[in-house]
Structure 1
Amino acid sequence: MPVDDDLILDAAVDELRDYGLKRTSVDNVARRAGLSRATVYRRFESKNVLVQAALVRESARFFGEIVAAIGPLPTAEERLVEGFVVGLRKVRTDALLTRLLVSDPEELVPYLTLRGAGVIAAASEFLVSQYAEVGGTMTRDPHVLAEMLVRLAISFTLTPDGSIAVADDDAVRDFARGYLVPLMS
């Protein structure tokens, strides 16, 4: 019987949420999924690959929640502003990310930076698709702008304290209107 990757990824996310990156093991993920260790390793060659896959999938879910919030907005500019606000709010309240930032920041940071290509690519493609959906036109490459926005959001996530009050939706909204929207022209 074929193994559903979602079964393994669900178990991995649950392990990460309960125990953090350091204490999560492929053995524990396999046990939680009701599978053998070898079966998990056949699908994901290492713990690193498994964690990356889990984070990419969770990113896709995260973006689905953002789409639900910004879907009714008619313009790319409005979607950018509200998407940035909703995204930063969700980052601050997401149980998995909060757990990992508190318990294992030294383990999490590489998955968002040095080993973050998958998460950055998935998030960037999401932004480009949202822009295309509203038929936006810009003189700049939307892929480059999307990647810049994702990298900026990661920076705010990892270092929330600064001149911009990321816990204040109105402050984030003002920042996005004043600094991010002009990048679209």
Structure 2
Amino acid sequence: MDELKDLILDKAKDRFDRFGFKKTTMDEISRDCKISKKTIYEQFKDKEDLFICLFIRESRKAREIIFARMGEIIDPLDKLIQLVKTATSYFNEDNFLTRLLKSNDDLFSPFLIMKYRCIAEEEVISIIADIISEGKKQGKLRDVDEKVTAYAGLKLFQAFSYMQTMEFCKEKEAQGYYTDVLVDFLVNAIIKK
């Protein structure tokens, strides 16, 4: 991505994070960038396109951060366990992507329609499915449908992280108790016995 596009996305991110999608205008973003609105429209079709590009960029950054924190892990089961632990830790941090995904108000609703959320989830499901497939090839994981299992794992992960609907005990959460429960559940569901 070029410097101009990154500048626009950075300034838009600050605006969206502070005021939400609805209350942010392209005029404000152009003023923050110190460029004309026309220049922004040369890079992005409209405000929603800008927001979608920002979401995709932030999702890719999150994936890079998570995998960098994990390090190189060869064993597929260990890789899945570390992926869940690292991703849970990341999504418990206070960052733009987490705030966006946790948002219960309508500030970001134009983007959070199913079509775009599915695009982001499909990427994650594919990564998890590849790890499961490798584990099956090595004889370490049960013969399960990788895509369906990856989808179920992602939905469970979401329920234990940014889409939590149940109140967790803060002390247990800080100790990683709920992450351990999730990992134990997932491992026992797919490990070959």
**TM-score exceeds 0.5:** yes
1:184 and 1:38, CA in 2 relative to 1: closer, same or farther beyond 3 A? farther
- Structure 1: any 5+ residue segments left out of the alignment? none
Name the counterpart of 2:150: 146
Aligned residues: 182
* CA RMSD, 1 decimal: 3.4
Q: Which sits farther off after the overlay, 109-118 or 71-80?
A: 109-118
CA distance in 2, matches of 1:184, 1:44: 46
- Structure 2 CA distance for aligned equivalents of residues 40 and 29 of structure 1: 9
Amino acid paired to 1:51? F
Inter-partner Cα distance in structure 1 for 2:37 and 2:134: 47
CA distance in 1, matches of 2:157, 2:21: 21
The aligned runs of 1:102-181 (5 Å cut-off) are 105-108=105-108, 111-112=111-112, 114=114, 115-128=116-129, 131=131, 135-137=134-136, 139-156=143-160, 157-161=162-166, 168-179=175-186
Distance 1:166 1:113 in 2: 30
Deviation at 1:52, TM superposition (A): 1.6
Per the normalisation by structure 2, the TM-score is: 0.72
Match of 1:21 in 2: 21
Letter in 1 for 2:181: D
Whole-Å separation in 2 of the counterparts to 1:32 and 1:171 = 41
Q: Which residue of 2 aligns with 1:69?
A: 69
Q: CA deviation at 1:116?
A: 1.1
Does the alignment pair 1:11 with 2:18?
no
Q: Which residue of 1 aligns with 2:60?
A: 60
Q: How far does residue 35 in structure 1 lie from its aligned partner after superposition?
A: 2.6
Larger radius of gyration: 2
Which stretch shows the higher mean deviation, 4-13 or 99-108?
99-108
1:127-181 deviation line (CA, Å, top 9, x unaligned): 456x28x943364453443344334434441234257976552321232222356
Q: Is the 8 A contact 1:60 1:122 kept in 2?
A: no
Partner of 1:95: 95
Q: Output the CA distance in 2 between the equivalents of 1:110 and 1:176.
A: 33
Deviation at 1:36, TM superposition (A): 2.0
Q: Deviations over 1:22-48 (max 9, x none)?
A: 322222223323332222223222222
Q: What SS is found at the alignment partner of 1:120?
A: helix
Which residue number corresponds to residue 34 of structure 1?
A: 34
Counterpart of 1:182 in structure 2: which amino acid? A
Equivalent position amino acid for 2:30 in 1: A
Indicate the percent of aligned positions where both proteins have the same amino acid.
23
Kept in 2: contact 1:140–1:184 (CA 8 A): no
Shift of 1:56: 1.3
Aligned partner letter, 2:122: A
TM-score normalised over the length of structure 1? 0.74
